[in-house]
């Protein structure tokens, strides 16, 4: 069916960010390349992708790049972030009240979020906008002052809002982790918010790719014993596994 194929192609582009016509030709040997071109043309008219020479790109992916350009940050380790996001998704269930932190890892997570009945609180306006496409998700932003580096809201208003809400499950990103200092980040106000979230949430899940291991940032916001699960892209080295076991932390 035409519509199905187009949907599948769109999915593929959204998840990979980009596709070459060659790839599609290999994937869909039963239709001609002209048909695939027409599919891309169709999706472009829908405003879901942009065609580039030799293929097409996802708009969502492009806006992530745009943010990266603004914040002078590159989207590093995309594969790792996808792995983490997919593992973390499994911890969800419908009807929950969840907190989704800011950062590119959490953005990946948000993009993968199934469209089920959820209450979401986030301090990241870009993540909030990403979630608009999930019709069943109630989206709440903390409010506060926007840090243009991290695209994160923080400050007294954020704090007040979090205090007033109940969170089942908090997905929190960490900029760095080491055994002596625990989970750390680089902004005082963001650390303050994270600490509050971690105190208030029933279960805390840290999302962190392995490149953050054994490094430190100025502000500690959590230790192993404060969290429920730690989701990473690879199996952690032995010493970390041991520490996690001692602290009864689920490793994913």
Contact window for a second copy (CB under 8 A) among 104-112, 129-137, 224-232, 236-244: 129-137
Query: How far apart are alpha carbons 11 and 24 in whole angstroms?
Result: 12
Question: Which residues sit opposite 204 in a β-bridge?
Answer: 170
Query: How far apart are alpha carbons 80 and 66 in whole angstroms?
Result: 20
Q: Which of 225, 236, 233 is nearest to 198 (CA)?
A: 225
Q: If contact means CB under 5 to 8 A according to the sort of partner, which of DNA, a second copy, none does residue 35 touch?
A: DNA
53 scored as a contact of DNA (CB under 7 A): yes
Residue 1 CB neighbours (<10 A): 6
The smaller minimum CB distance to DNA, of residues 25 and 86, is found at 25
Q: Shortest gap between Cβ of 44 and a second copy (angstroms)?
A: 9
Site for a second copy in 205-224 (CB under 8 A): none
SS3 of residue 225 by DSSP: helix
Q: Which of 222, 205, 210 is nearest to 88 (CA)?
A: 205
- Lookup: tokens for 23: 């790839």
Query: How far apart are alpha carbons 111 and 100 in whole angstroms?
Result: 12
97 scored as a contact of a second copy (CB under 8 A): no
Q: If contact means CB under 5 to 8 A according to the sort of partner, which of DNA, a second copy, none does residue 27 touch?
A: none
Total of residues contacting a second copy (CB under 8 A): 45
235 scored as a contact of a second copy (CB under 8 A): no
Dihedral of alpha carbons 34, 38, 43, 47, sign: positive
Q: Shortest gap between Cβ of 141 and a second copy (angstroms)?
A: 5
Q: Which of 178, 193, 196, 187 is nearest to 219 (CA)?
A: 187
Helix residue ranges, H only, 17-58: 21-27, 33-45
175 scored as a contact of a second copy (CB under 8 A): no
66 scored as a contact of a second copy (CB under 8 A): yes
57 scored as a contact of DNA (CB under 7 A): no
34 scored as a contact of DNA (CB under 7 A): yes
The smaller minimum CB distance to DNA, of residues 30 and 238, is found at 30
96 scored as a contact of a second copy (CB under 8 A): no
Cβ proximity of 171 and 203 under 8 Å? no
* Interaction site with DNA (CB under 7 A): 2, 5, 20-22, 30-32, 34-35, 37-39, 41, 51-55
* Interaction site with a second copy (CB under 8 A): 46-48, 50-53, 57, 59-60, 62-63, 65-71, 125-126, 128-129, 131-133, 135, 138-146, 148, 151, 153, 156-158, 160-161, 164
């Amino acid at each position: 069916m035409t519509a199905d194929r187009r949907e599948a192609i769109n999915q593929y582009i959204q998840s990979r960010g980009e596709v070459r016509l060659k790839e599609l030709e290999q994937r869909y040997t039963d239709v001609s390349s002209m048909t695939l071109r027409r599919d891309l043309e169709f999706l472009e008219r829908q405003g879901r992708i942009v065609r580039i020479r030799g293929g097409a790109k996802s708009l969502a992916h492009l806006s992530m790049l745009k943010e990266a350009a603004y914040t002078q940050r590159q989207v590093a380790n995309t594969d790792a972030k996808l792995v983490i996001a997919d593992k973390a998704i499994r911890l969800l269930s419908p009807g929950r009240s969840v907190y989704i932190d800011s950062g590119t890892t959490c953005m990946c997570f948000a993009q993968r979020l199934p469209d089920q009945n959820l209450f979401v609180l986030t301090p990241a306006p870009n993540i909030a906008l990403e979630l608009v496409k999930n019709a069943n998700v109630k989206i709440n932003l903390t409010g506060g002052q926007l840090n243009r580096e991290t695209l994160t809201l923080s400050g007294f208003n954020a704090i007040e809002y979090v205090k007033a809400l109940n969170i089942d499950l908090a997905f929190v990103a960490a900029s760095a982790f080491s055994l002596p200092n625990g989970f750390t980040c680089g902004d005082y106000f963001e650390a303050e918010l994270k600490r509050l979230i971690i105190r208030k949430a029933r279960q805390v899940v840290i999302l962190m790719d392995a490149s953050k291991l054994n490094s430190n940032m100025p502000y500690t916001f959590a230790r192993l014993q404060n969290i429920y699960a730690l989701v990473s892209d690879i199996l952690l080295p032995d010493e970390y596994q041991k520490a996690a076991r001692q602290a009864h932390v689920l490793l994913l």
